[in-house]
Amino acid sequence: MKSIAVFASGSGSNFQAIQEGIERGDIDATIKVVVTDKPGAYVTERAAAKNIPVLALSPKAYDSKEAYEQAILAELRKNEVEFLVLAGYMRLIGATLLEAYPNHIINIHPSLLPSFPGKDAIGQALAHGVKITGVTVHYVDAGMDTGRIIMQRAVDVVEGNREETEAAIHAIEHQLYPEVLKYLFNSSENRVR
Ligand code: GAR
Q: What is the pLDDT of residues 90-139, one digit of tens each?
A: 999 999 999 999 999 999 999 999 999 999 999 999 999 999 999 999 99
Residue 179 pLDDT grade (very low, low, confident, very high; cuts 50, 70, 90) = very high
Calpha distance 32→3 (Å, rounded): 6
Q: Is 21 in the pocket of ligand 1 (CB under 6 A)?
A: no
CA of 154 to the centre of ligand 1 (A): 16
Domain ranges of the chain: 2-185
**Ligand 1: distance of its center to the CA of 89 in Å?**
7
DSSP annotation string for 20-69? HHHHTT-S-EEEEEEEES-TT-THHHHHHHTT--EEE--GGGSSSHHHHH
What pLDDT does residue 78 have? 98
Q: Catalytic residue positions? A: 109
> For ligand 1, what atom is nearest to the CA of residue 11?
16
The bridge status of strand 54-56 relative to strand 2-7 is unpaired
Look at residue 186 in the predicted model and tell me its pLDDT.
Answer: 85
| Dihedral sign computed on CA atoms, order 40, 170, 117, 130 | negative
Nearest CA to ligand 1 atom 7: 88
**Does the pLDDT value for residue 193 go beyond 70?**
no
> pLDDT for 9-68, tens place per residue?
999 999 999 999 999 999 999 999 999 999 999 999 999 999 999 999 999 999 999 999
Query: How distant, in Å, are the alpha carbons of 7, 95, 188 from that of 56?
Result: 10, 20, 35
Q: Which CATH class is domain 2-185?
A: alpha beta
The atom number, within ligand 1, closest to the CA of 9 reads: 16
Q: Is 91 annotated as a binding residue?
A: yes
Cβ atoms of 107 and 7 within 8 Å: the answer is no
- Which residues, including other chains, have CB under 8 Å from residue 32's CB and lie 6 or more apart? 3, 4, 5, 52, 53, 79, 80, 81
Q: Inform me whether the pLDDT recorded for 178 exceeds 70.
A: yes
pTM (two decimals): 0.96
Q: Is the pLDDT of residue 140 over 70?
A: yes
pLDDT, position 160: 86
Amino acid at 146: T
Is 184 within any annotated ligand binding site? Answer: no
Query: 12: annotated binding-site residue?
Result: yes
Contact 176, 135 (CB under 8 A): yes
Asked if pLDDT for residue 191 goes beyond 70, the answer is no
Name which residue leads in pLDDT, 189 or 139. 139
Ligand 1 atom, smallest distance to 107 CA: 13
